[in-house]
Structure 1
């Protein structure tokens, strides 16, 4: 580095150094303490108040999703056996909440009660105290019938309701207003918890107009923030990721002040988005559902849901947040098990 001597008045500097050398003026007024961490000796105020971040975090393990197949990530669980094995591995790492999709023989997402049942009956029997939810997006008459049957089976605690209309990647993904309202009614009627799933700012307003201000639901609600996928709220780098999540969190809290917000780590942002959610005191969902990458700045594929869960769990613990037990999550989310226990 080159020393710039063009503007410094070195004669003035030399005179002051000769008179005072390079002393710093320092007067401690709180002796014998240099700095008291409990209170100021002058004002009595707490100089560094503790943050209000909740000590416990929900970390949901999303075993698989609707979009990515083994062609994008060969490690993606698709068969009932693979889904069960991946969920069991996450549970062994401490996962208390499991989110699943069903896949057909070709690996595509389907709303099939039999396939869901093959997975969820096994997991429920082995882990009766944990929480389970499933994505039930019906795209034809058969799947509409399958959705209603799934709600009757008693295998899940919560169901996402997508209040969205967007071009998601190369897909048109639209939930009409009447479908949003009726699906929410069916979920409530079944005694399950609707999770409001939002991809963009407009989805939050859809939820407000159609569900909250209509009086169909009242807060605090559970919200799933699914930004980061193509066609959603763009996350092109750290700055836009932070701006996007902060804006959506503020909007959700405006319409539902006591909201339970779960940031779903999707797209390139993935683990960085999950870390930001934890820093903000929010809850998170991680796994192969909405991404194939471990990190946004590299192309490393997720090798296993359990490995990713362990990585994010360790981040949470290193940030001073511990895993929330399923019983507390169910109570917080107002799921049936919590309501039954209260009664």
Structure 2
């Protein structure tokens, strides 16, 4: 421990007459957070962030099964029930995958319609987007059938080449470009899904500079999964998200950006995104953890939505209604789609 010169301290206290230095030049106001007594310009104004917070719920995703989260909805009925539950509870929009009988991701027009048609009937204003990633023989044609059916308001395009867990996940440039053309042709909104900041560059080079996607565009940031932008601690989470968002803003200043509660970062990265004035996606697609510092599993998509609603209360940004979300994305009033037998 250092030796303190207490005689000097005592002398200094006496010299200052045991008082702090205080010169209140703005009296009678002591402290004003908005104005200065020396001029009439405001010194603080409200932050320029969107008033409403869009909260999407991603119902199941392509990967997690019951051995990872026993609560994961897998069958069409389970997916429909979960989507219906969050729609009734106030979700801005829902994001869908469908699974086959063994619980694996499938591009089945019939299974998509088994979920979407009843949702459309009960919630005509609800925007629904679906993930259409053709990875197996024949799935490209199935993807085209889903798009041509006109049942999706939006669909992501993944501008990535990365390992997701132990699987190599690559969207070759021609596949990216042609898929966006098909999404546009179907009258849906292409959502640019990025996993790292390099994916932002891919989107700019192949999709924006080509004119296939106009700005401001819709961006979906999927960090924190193994192989994506690393978020293994709070510092990484903050630095990674701010870097990716900055890269997007450099090429698309007015972008609509939605950040997923994903991987170990879970709801913490969603909370950070809401604080940054962005929008959030919660749900059981991208994580099975409630919090990054504990092992608690997500119990339901309703629970995940309620976490998003709590975040909205904390940051003072009310959750956008489905109608408000449609306006944010520039979606028209939902056209009627006949239900097929």
Scaled by the length of structure 2, what TM-score is found?
0.94
1:84 offset after TM fit, Å?
1.3
Aligned residue among 246, 252, 264 for 1:256: 252
Residues 190 and 213 in structure 2, CA contact (< 8 A), matched pair in contact too: no
Q: Which secondary structure state, in structure 2, belongs to the residue aligned with residue 195 of structure 1?
A: strand
Aligned residue among 244, 248, 269 for 2:240: 244
Determine if the alignment matches structure 1 residue 129 to structure 2 residue 118. Answer: no
Query: For 1:37-48, what aligned pairs fall within 5 Å after superposition?
Result: 37-48=33-44
Query: 2:290 maps to which residue?
Result: 294
Compared CA separation, residues 339 and 77, structure 1 to 2 (3 A) = closer
1:285 offset after TM fit, Å?
0.5
Aligned residue among 102, 109, 116 for 1:113: 109
Aligned residue among 204, 208, 212 for 2:208: 212
Query: 1:91 maps to which residue?
Result: 87
**Structure 1 regions of 5+ residues with no counterpart?**
none
Question: 1-side partners of 2:44 and 2:199: how far apart?
Answer: 38
Residues 270 and 293 in structure 1, CA contact (< 8 A), matched pair in contact too: yes
Question: 2-side partners of 1:331 and 1:323: how far apart?
Answer: 14
Q: Which secondary structure state, in structure 1, belongs to the residue aligned with residue 45 of structure 2?
A: coil
1:38 offset after TM fit, Å?
3.0
Residues 153 and 331 in structure 2, CA contact (< 8 A), matched pair in contact too: yes
Scaled by the length of structure 1, what TM-score is found?
0.94
How many pairs were matched up? 336
Residues 158 and 335 in structure 1, CA contact (< 8 A), matched pair in contact too: no
CA deviation profile, 1:134-153 (whole Å, cap 9, x unmatched):
10111234211111111122
Runs of 4+, deviation exceeding 6 Å: none
**Structure 2 regions of 5+ residues with no counterpart?**
337-341
Query: For 1:187-336, what aligned pairs fall within 5 Å after superposition?
Result: 187-336=183-332
Aligned residue among 169, 173, 177 for 1:173: 169
